Amino acid sequence: MLDTVNFPNEPGCYLFKDKNENVIYVGKAKNLRKRVKQYTKSNDFDIKTQSMIGYIKSVDFVATDNEVEALILENTLIKKYQPKYNIRLKDAKSHSYILLTDEKYPRAIIARRKSEKGKYFGPFVSAAERDYVLQFLKKTFLIRSCRKLPKRACLRYHINLCEAPCIGLISEKDYKSKIENVKLILNGHTDKLLKKLRSDMKSFSDKNHFESALKTRNQITAIEHLNERQNMQREKKYNEDIINYEIKDDMVYLMLFNIYKGTLNNKTDFVFDYNSDFLEEFIVQYYSDSPVPKELIIPVKLSVSIKTFLENLKGSKVKIIKPEKGDKKKLLNLVLKNIEITFFSNLDKVETLKNRLNLYESPNVIECFDISHLSGTSTAGSMVQFRNGRPDKSNYRRFRIRSIEGIDDTAAIAEVVKRRYLRLKSEDSELPDLIIIDGGKGQLNFALQELTKLDLKIPIISIAKQFEEIYIPGRMLPMKIPKKDKALQFIQEIRDEAHRFAIKYNRLLRKKEMIS
């Protein structure tokens, strides 16, 4: 029973702790005492919350003056403690900047944090727009891109993409003049720059410096095209974000569209465990690290405190809309349609595979192993993970084979399987629902032996390339699945990704060996 005697009837944050005093959940409340009491009285909780309650041994709280302060504090505490039962936005990506480095001959590069010396421009909401501007600047003004100045001109000079400051073909003064032009563009002063360049072009022409005049004319043309491209995206004078979601099997599948001045610039998706406050918790975490739009379109009403929180972050008014009809409702439906396509078409593959292999549980987490070598040299192992039918690249792993010399794929598979699951078992980490081995019956048996030694019972199969046959432990003959069957196609997709990842690492090892 949670002791709430000393809890105030005030807004604030509560912290659930386990037997080791580790914070496992941070929540916010209008009334701390009433909110925490709910965990002791109600049994109507989702599966995740029921699991969490079993681990709670103590509870602490921090009172605040109002709900908005509680929202801010909740986000700070979540970032500090990384509680197990709060949602984690692993897919959220911070917006990046273009950095002009503080060097004798500055470079223009992408920066996600303001950690280096130089001048930062941004942040850029759209990665595509950022990359376009960066490439435009490099091609138009021939800015160097090498990290260190080489002792001789590189390929970029020979294909007219750099003026080779490394060998003194452009003076420091002239190079800095180019950088000043770059700054004008990044600050949005293209009209001022065009006026200056037109004056320069006339001056070069009057002095019969026709080559310089031609280069300047090309710069003017490029900047005019850039202006046209950006003006097409400025029909709307404010930014919108559209959020929609679907809940299935105690999981939230959420998608966010960034509409930048009337143009869809970015689409981000998230998957996390369901809890009753997930949407407000998501909004607080996401917008604490991302630009707040002027207008937010969502499928449900939000509390006044969330609106105040967003306005405090933005420093101006934020409009939150729950549309019932019209164009904004169509946009919400469009996001929902994308959720269906992105998430649930993949979940259909998972269910098909479960039924085809007669598995007890859906293989939501699948790990696949492959071995790559060149005539027995630079042997490399790969492991790719698919989660809910999609590649989860943050959980890809690669292995340099230690115990094998020459060609022995079965022993190499045994090594990487042992290393992978010995580590997961020792760390008490999540195990996969299905293991796939790229190979035949031999590779499957060696992998199964390692799992048996570790006392792990995980469903495991292998796929042999020649006839695309599926080997299953305990069956004498392989399972033959029709080529057009979705289950086989899904297995092949996973196997091919593991093969690609293994070859990539094998090539890296060979390159390192050649250099050494």
Tens-place pLDDT, residues 146-169 = 888 887 888 777 777 788 888 888
Label the pairing between strands 12-17 and 397-400: unpaired
Tokens representing 25?
Answer: 């959940």
Per-residue pLDDT at 374 exceeds 60 = yes
Rg of the chain over all Cα atoms, to the nearest angstrom:
29
pLDDT of 233 reads: 41
Tokens of 351: 């269910």
pLDDT at 402: 77
Does the domain formed by 365-515 have CATH 3.40.50.620? no
Interval 362-376 mean pLDDT: 85
Instruction: State the average pLDDT over residues 468-493.
Output: 90
Report whether pLDDT(316) > 50. Answer: yes
Strands (E), 30-147: 58-63, 96-101, 108-111, 118-124
pLDDT > 90? residue 453? yes
For a pLDDT cut of 90, what percent of the chain falls above it? 30
Is 70 exceeded by the pLDDT of residue 129?
no
The CATH architecture annotation of domain 240-345 reads 2-Layer Sandwich (3.30)
Contact 444, 462 (CB under 8 A): yes
Domain ranges of the chain: 12-81, 96-231, 240-345, 365-515
> What residues contact residue 397 under an 8 Å CB cut-off, 6+ apart?
382, 383, 420
> pLDDT (tens digit, 9 = 90+) per residue, 38-76?
887 766 777 788 888 889 998 888 888 788 878 878 887
Three-state DSSP class for 59?
A: strand
Which of 355, 501, 494 is CA-nearest to residue 435?
A: 494
Task: Determine the average pLDDT of the residues in 4-15.
Answer: 80
Q: Six-digit token pair at 105? A: 């001959």
Domain 12-81: which topology? GIY-YIG endonuclease (3.40.1440)
Calpha distance 416→423 (Å, rounded): 11
* 433 vs 374, residue with greater confidence: 433
Between 253 and 210, whose confidence is greater?
A: 253
Under 8 Å between Cβ of 396 and 501:
yes
Residue 467 has pLDDT above 90, yes or no: no
Report the 10 Å Cβ neighbour count for 475. 11
Q: Sorting pLDDT into bands at 50, 70 and 90, what band is 490?
A: very high
pLDDT of residue 2: 67
Backbone torsions φ then ψ of 478, nearest 5 degrees? -70, 155
413, 451 in Cβ contact below 8 A?
no
The model's pTM: 0.50
Q: Locate 482 and state its tokens.
A: 């029709």
Assess whether the region 240-345 and the region 365-515 belong to the same CATH fold. Answer: yes
